[in-house]
Structure 1
Amino acid sequence: MSLRSALRAQTADCHAGVDALFGNFSLFDIRTYKTFLRAHARVVPSVEAALEQAGIEQLLPDWPERRRAHLLLADMAELQEPPPPLLARPDLRGGAALWGAVYVLEGSKLGGAMLAKAVPDDLPSSYLSPHGPKGSMRAFMERLDTSGIDDMAAAVAAARGVFDLFLKAAQLELEAV
């Protein structure tokens, strides 16, 4: 089984949970859109920082073009929404954990591109809008498939940990409104 297949199969429940919880956010309404962005802002900067601290650029040399925390924070600034407190950085040790964590962030771009269509034109949506070099998702999947990682359990655990952070962030923000 490829790492991609293992990650997809063994995190399907997490993915479904995140999709269901984030489905409670109406991106047409500025208040709930801000709440949605705040939930993401609790996680994305932390995970990106953890990936960078653990050396993600060794695995993905184009990492700087893949980062999105700055886009998220720019959208929030345009909406005059201060960043919320960050959730704790995940502890990412080893290549398998890096691949698992970045798998979740890269996958969220696909969902973001679909969600961007729901954001009214007068609201900033650079975080959700497709960006990066053309074919970057395909290139990511190819690198994932050829990563040579044999510790799939560590990759899956890291991915599930990042999904859990998104769930916790969404719950915190939904409870606050």
Structure 2
Amino acid sequence: MSLRSVLRAQTADCHAEVDKLFGTFDLSRKEQYRTFLRAHARIIPAAEDALEEAGVIRLLPDWPERRRAQLLSADIGELGDRLPERLPPPALQGEAAIWGVLYVLEGSKLGGALLAKSVRDSLPSAYLTPQGPKGAIKVFMDRLDASDVADPAAAVSAARALFDLFLKAGQLELEAVP
């Protein structure tokens, strides 16, 4: 079984919880969209930095073009807000953990493209519609499928930890809304 299949099967419950929570946001409404972006901003910059520190460039040479933290920061700035406090990213010990976190982040781009359709044209949406390398998701999936990870459980653990952080971030932001 490929690492992608293992990750999909063993994180489906987490993925569903995150989709359910973030699906409650009405992205056509400025304040809810801002809250949605702030929740992501608690995770994305820290996770991307952790991936860089762990050596993600060895696995994905086009990594710099895949980063979205600056797009997220710009969108939040355009909405007149500042970045919230970051949550600590999951520990990335080894290649398997890097693949697990990448699986969640790269997959979130597919979800973001769908969500972007509900964002009003007057709102900034660079984060949800990144213009990365052409065919980037296919390249990622091909590399993930070709990965020869000795410990798929470590990849699953890292992916689940990142999904949990998204849940925590979403809940923190929702609690902060008056």
Q: Which TM-score band applies after superposition, normalised by the shorter structure?
A: over 0.9
Corresponding position of 2:44: 44
1:154 aligned partner: 154
Alignment of 1:10-89 (within 5 A): 10-89=10-89
Moved over 3 A (4+): none
Contact 2:68 2:130 in 1 (8 A): no
- Aligned counterparts of 1:89 and 1:36: Cα–Cα separation in 2: 18
Unaligned runs of 5+ in 2: none
The one-letter code matched in structure 1 to 2:107 is G
TM-score scaled by structure 1?
Answer: 0.98
Give deviations 1:43-90, integer Å, cap 9, x for gaps: 000100110111100111100011001100010111111100000122
Shift of 1:121: 0.3
| Per-residue Cα deviation, 1:102-125 (whole angstroms, up to 9, x for no partner) | 110000000000000100001000
Cα distance between partner residues in 2 of 1:41 and 1:10: 25
Q: Give the Cα separation in 1 of the matches to 2:49 and 2:89.
A: 8
Root-mean-square deviation (CA), in Å? 0.7
How far does residue 130 in structure 1 lie from its aligned partner after superposition? 4.1
Query: Which sections of structure 1, spanning at least 5 residues, go unmatched?
Result: none
SS, match of residue 87 in structure 2: coil
Aligned length in residues: 177
Identical aligned residues as a percent: 67
- Say if 2:103 is the partner of 1:103: yes
Name the SS of the counterpart of 2:42 in structure 1. Answer: helix
Displacement, 1:147? 1.0
